Structure 1
Amino acid sequence: MITAPRRWLLLATVLCGLAPLAPPAAEAQPAPQRVLRVAPHADLKTLDPVFASIVITRMHGLMIYETLFAWDSKLQPHPQMVDRFSTAEDGLSWQFHLRPGLKFHDGQKVRSQDVIASLRRWMARDTVGGKVAEYAAGMEAVDEDSFVIRLKRPMSMLPFALGSAVGQIPVIMRESDANTDPMRPVTEAVGSGPFRFNRAEWRSGARVVYDRNPDYVPRDEPADGLAGGRVVKLDRVEWIIMPDPATAAAALQSGEIDIWEQPSQDLVPVIGRSREVKVERFASLANQVMLRPNHLHPPFNDPRARLALAYATDQGDFLAAGYGDEQWWKRCESYFVCGGPNGTEAGTSAYAKPDLETARRLLAESGYKGERLVLNSTYDIAPIGRMAEVAAESLKKIGFNIDLQFADWGTVTTRQQNRGTVAEGGWNLFVTTASGATMQSPVTNIGTNMACGGKSWAGWPCDEEAERLRGAVVDAPDDAARQQATEALHRRLAEVQPYRVLGQYDQPYARRANVSGMLQAPVMLFWNLEKP
């Protein structure tokens, strides 16, 4: 948590223009003409966007790889690597043809065999891919440029799934890379996208470099979100790793970096005063905040204890602590994000305001006897740490015995995978956030996947009725039927509470005024950007 003295120290540092960016002279390189320097929210550790679902790896993946389809700014799918496609009358066979000019960065042509191997790997890793795998009867190459996906039953959402920009994304790799063990990350970084990863200049903890791919042939359509022509107007993009917010703010104000991807909320008012800096939103949907319980162990294996979380918590308390000024956040009880195409709040009206008496009653009915519960969190991401403190205080009011434990973010995310009890190093609760693009659809929302057998995301909820209703959304033949199915699913989720929705917030980004062309998308994109 950033204390008041620490906050004022950061502000003073920025206002005084301290903390200049000075890379070691030994690493100095002759700079290309048009270079965009960006302070990203995290360092890049994993290169494989099919293995890891973290945002920084997804950003990296979208720099160097492409997908068959791509979502526009309204999250609608459009052909990307695909030139044309057709569907059989019964909906059980889809044929796709790749667009001409697709080449990997090593010069190899992109073939149907690369696509099929890549999709199989994705289906083994991702929530959306797993749903496609349930429907898929087989895939086969017609020739090097065409392939067929055969289905067991119709899936009208297949293009949406193949364009997924959330979770582990379905990027197309070389067949040799895609055929490796899906449980191990690919360490090569050879795609066919608009940028090339410059491994020689990669410095872990300091810098990640991407060069324009001179062989890339963009689509003809105008850029819209991830869809359309990915026209690169820069020679190079450099991610400069700056974990200290005062350093990043000073570097932005002095022009030593061009973009700060996720500025500290404390410093937004300060950097926004400069005529040379613009603070804006780039995501098309707000992000979601959640309190995630572990469904494997008492008390949260009982839905009454999970309902107690909903009755005990006030979204405003969390969001104000995490994100300050209300211009950046709003209350919302929808699992699928207010303002999105599926943003229903059906069945949640009882949770709009805390009801501590009902919360205490439900907690007692669940059989909870005051056992110690571990709420695992971090201050590495300051809003999450502050909201964890609010969670601990809120839950203590109704009788939960909360042990709030802080660690670095890497330790927290590693511990989240532990399915054991607290005595075995496990956990009971954590606060986290997820992008609106991830949470806006029943197909992509990782938190509402309640597939039994431990197949769901950390917390491992299991509810066969919710999964039946989620399947009905995928099976829906048209948008009207899909809306109806989504509302029925949402009512069930409100009853069983896979997690407590804590509202939503907008994450601003900051840029120098001379940078233009930012696209609305689930993650920050670097094609279409211009810098004189």
Structure 2
Amino acid sequence: MLSFNRSRIPGFPNARAAARGAGRVLAAGVFALAATTAHAQEKTVTAVMHSGLRMLDPIVSTAHITRNHGYMVYDVLVAMDAEGAVQPQMASWQVSDDRLIYTFTLRDGLSFHDGADVTAADVVASLQRWGARDGAAAFLMEATGSIEAVDAKTVVWTLTEPFPLLLDVLAKQSSVPAFIMPERVAATSPDETITEYVGSGPFVFVEGEFQPGVKIVYERFDDYAPREEPASGLAGGKVVNVDRVEWVTMPDSQTAMSALMNGEIDLIENSQIDLLPILETSPDVTVEIRDPLGYQGFARMNFKHPPFDDVRMRKAAMMALGQEQAMATMIGNPDYYWLCGAIFGCGTPLGDEAGAESLKAGGDKAAARKMLEEAGYDNTPVVIMQATDIGAMGTIPVVIASDLREAGFNVDLQSMDWQTLVSRRASMNPPSEGGWNIFTSFASGVEANTPLVHPILPSTGDTGWFGWATDPELEEMRAAYLKAEGLEEQKQIAHDIQARVLDNVIFVPLGNYAFVQARSNKLTDMLPTAVPVFWNVNIAD
């Protein structure tokens, strides 16, 4: 975890006085978060996450808030530690000499929240459903002959050819981790969402207190048996030291800030950057960056419908966009954002910025307008979805709308909350019938640093990521990456993928920024993971 204390941002010459004033003015509007009598003696962590939660299926949805929910309720077979090494979690494993057979053995003491034992049959059903949804798992499943439960605790995974990265795919943190569910739940079609939320993870989802988009409650699973090893990354012992965790939604950032400084909540997962100088004046609050790789903002176009079913239109749109304006509008303070055209992240082993020159230079509206005219644009409306409840992230669609209008596009900017956007982006309908043309989102460094796990790259049409790009050449490059011998060959393939992504405009990288967390100093021992988890956390008296 990186702690820091930045100098004051312009406009906050007396941050301490501003904090006192904000606390007085906003106190009356703070959510009623006082614990009920029944919970008064319990240790409860109250957190404002980056978004409200409505979608509860972490296999169908790639939204980070749904992934975070998944880590609360479900467990995984293997996990990556703080050093990036794969470690046993629910299961240990053995590999045959020919590297074609992986045998996983479930550890003792695993049970679901409904009291049933976790069995190999549950694992097989869960892996099959996950394999039908996840982009990286798709390659793994192509190399899979069978996944079988040979007894209650043993799963035998047989490959048709060696897949050296099998454990890495199985242990990846995001965006669709291989969560294990009961067989009856995992039997749900991968094209439908689950309706029962029973896991074997360290927390139980309290369905009776769930208010979609407003509040979600988890209670400690008393029968959870953590591993004996110390927690490291997302591996090791998931020891729960609190009774309840409540995620509450506060769309207004100042209200959340005031609640944190007044001790009414314990954590803000994504703090508004221009409020950090106020938070930093509080002796009771720690401000920190969870993920040093940061997050990459991006724009995704819909390949299924005009105008962006035509690559010339996508190229014209990308030519109109610039990273500096997007990041400056969203974040403001350059201490917390950086321009980066590398789809695998700047400063990473595979980081390469080929093809991103116009993006980093601020775009070229005149060139974009000329490209649009040459492509024969017929004034088809471009529906841009804007989420207005996830802080400054909602400003990027406004910038994109302005840039595209200046380039000659007919833009329809439509506002909604993030969970509505998450649901609507799955619609393949035409924009005039509830579909869309562009939305913006973000990917974390840990989920976007290789061609194997990058969530947006799969370009297999209707089975790919939202926007449904179809690019067989890109898929061949991703497959070649799996068989690359050594880092230098991997780098060359990554370079080719970088060029292909921007040439075909699979998505548009808009720059990188820090997710800055603020927490009460009473909240101790929070693990320094890119994914926020609530095991190991304690509350000081």
Instruction: Answer whether TM exceeds 0.5 for this pair.
Output: yes
Aligned to 1:307: 315
Contact 2:359 2:510 (8 Å CA) reproduced: no
Matches for 1:421-432 after TM superposition, within 5 Å? 421-432=430-441
Task: Extract unaligned runs of 5+ from structure 1.
Answer: none
1-structure distance, mates of 2:469, 2:22:
45
Report deviation, 1:359.
3.0
Q: Does 1:236 align with 2:278?
A: no
Q: Does 1:151 align with 2:159?
A: yes
- The 1:11–1:495 alpha-carbon spacing in structure 2 relative to 1, beyond 3 Å, is farther
Q: Aligned match of 2:75 in 33, 58, 66?
A: 66
Q: Which whole-Å deviations, capped at 9, do the CAs of 1:9-29 have from their partners, x for residues lacking one?
A: 99954454513443589x542
Q: Aligned match of 2:143 in 107, 118, 135?
A: 135
1-structure distance, mates of 2:315, 2:452:
24
Q: Which whole-Å deviations, capped at 9, do the CAs of 1:247-286 have from their partners, x for residues lacking one?
A: 3222211112111122233422222211111111113531
- The 1:74–1:286 alpha-carbon spacing in structure 2 relative to 1, beyond 3 Å, is farther
Report SS of the residue matched to 1:386. Answer: helix
Contact 2:94 2:103 (8 Å CA) reproduced: yes
Matches for 1:25-174 after TM superposition, within 5 Å? 28-73=37-82, 75-83=84-92, 85-174=93-182
1-structure distance, mates of 2:22, 2:376:
52
Task: Extract unaligned runs of 5+ from structure 2.
Answer: 1-10, 12-17
Aligned to 1:345: 353
Aligned to 1:483: 491
2-structure distance, mates of 1:178, 1:267:
43
Report deviation, 1:117.
0.9
Contact 1:334 1:343 (8 Å CA) reproduced: yes
- The 1:342–1:11 alpha-carbon spacing in structure 2 relative to 1, beyond 3 Å, is farther
Aligned to 2:5: none
Q: Does 1:261 align with 2:244?
A: no
Q: Which whole-Å deviations, capped at 9, do the CAs of 1:94-126 have from their partners, x for residues lacking one?
A: 222222222222333222111101111111222
Q: Which whole-Å deviations, capped at 9, do the CAs of 1:212-266 have from their partners, x for residues lacking one?
A: 2333222233322212222222233222333333332222111121111222334
- The 1:111–1:412 alpha-carbon spacing in structure 2 relative to 1, beyond 3 Å, is closer
Q: Aligned match of 1:387 in 374, 396, 407?
A: 396
2-structure distance, mates of 1:502, 1:382:
17
Q: Give the residue type in structure 1 aligned to 2:341.
A: E
Report deviation, 1:62.
0.6
Aligned to 2:280: 272
Contact 1:10 1:246 (8 Å CA) reproduced: no
- The 1:223–1:174 alpha-carbon spacing in structure 2 relative to 1, beyond 3 Å, is same
Q: Aligned match of 2:456 in 447, 457, 462?
A: 447
1-structure distance, mates of 2:67, 2:421:
20
Q: Which whole-Å deviations, capped at 9, do the CAs of 1:338-393 have from their partners, x for residues lacking one?
A: 24443232443454313445434433333324433222223223423321121122
Comparing 202-211 with 102-111, which one deviates more in the overlay? 202-211
Matches for 1:324-343 after TM superposition, within 5 Å? 324-343=332-351
2-structure distance, mates of 1:441, 1:279:
29
- The 1:147–1:437 alpha-carbon spacing in structure 2 relative to 1, beyond 3 Å, is same
Report SS of the residue matched to 2:303. Answer: coil
- The 1:46–1:410 alpha-carbon spacing in structure 2 relative to 1, beyond 3 Å, is closer
Report SS of the residue matched to 2:312. Answer: helix
2-structure distance, mates of 1:307, 1:395:
12
Tell me how many residue pairs correspond in the alignment.
523
Report deviation, 1:32.
4.2
Q: Give the residue type in structure 2 aligned to 1:486.
A: A
Report SS of the residue matched to 2:463. Answer: coil
Report SS of the residue matched to 1:447. Answer: coil
Q: Give the residue type in structure 1 aligned to 2:101.
A: S
Instruction: Report the TM-score, using the length of structure 1 for normalisation.
Output: 0.90
Report deviation, 1:479.
4.4
Aligned to 2:4: none
Q: Give the residue type in structure 2 aligned to 1:282.
A: R
Contact 1:446 1:456 (8 Å CA) reproduced: no
Comparing 108-117 with 443-452, which one deviates more in the overlay? 443-452
Q: Give the residue type in structure 1 aligned to 2:148.
A: E
Q: Does 1:401 align with 2:416?
A: no
Q: Does 1:220 align with 2:228?
A: yes
Report deviation, 1:74.
5.3
Contact 2:34 2:264 (8 Å CA) reproduced: no
2-structure distance, mates of 1:357, 1:315:
17
Q: Give the residue type in structure 2 aligned to 1:287.
A: Y
Comparing 436-445 with 110-119, which one deviates more in the overlay? 436-445
1-structure distance, mates of 2:311, 2:30:
52
Report deviation, 1:478.
4.6
Contact 1:127 1:167 (8 Å CA) reproduced: no
Q: Aligned match of 1:286 in 294, 300, 315?
A: 294
2-structure distance, mates of 1:415, 1:187:
19
Report SS of the residue matched to 2:477. Answer: helix
Q: Does 1:368 align with 2:377?
A: yes
Contact 1:519 1:528 (8 Å CA) reproduced: yes
Contact 2:19 2:279 (8 Å CA) reproduced: no
- The 1:508–1:157 alpha-carbon spacing in structure 2 relative to 1, beyond 3 Å, is same
Q: Give the residue type in structure 2 aligned to 1:249.
A: M
Report SS of the residue matched to 2:75. Answer: coil
Report SS of the residue matched to 2:324. Answer: helix
Contact 1:37 1:238 (8 Å CA) reproduced: yes
Report SS of the residue matched to 1:465. Answer: helix
Contact 1:72 1:78 (8 Å CA) reproduced: yes
Q: Does 1:22 align with 2:32?
A: yes
Aligned to 1:179: 187
Q: Does 1:433 align with 2:439?
A: no
Q: Which whole-Å deviations, capped at 9, do the CAs of 1:373-424 have from their partners, x for residues lacking one?
A: 2222232234233211211222233322323232333443343233343444
Contact 2:54 2:419 (8 Å CA) reproduced: no
- The 1:407–1:351 alpha-carbon spacing in structure 2 relative to 1, beyond 3 Å, is closer
Aligned to 1:248: 256
- The 1:37–1:373 alpha-carbon spacing in structure 2 relative to 1, beyond 3 Å, is closer
Q: Give the residue type in structure 2 aligned to 1:252.
A: L
2-structure distance, mates of 1:36, 1:275:
19
Aligned to 2:427: 418
Give the share of equivalent positions with the same residue, in percent: 37
Report deviation, 1:315.
0.4
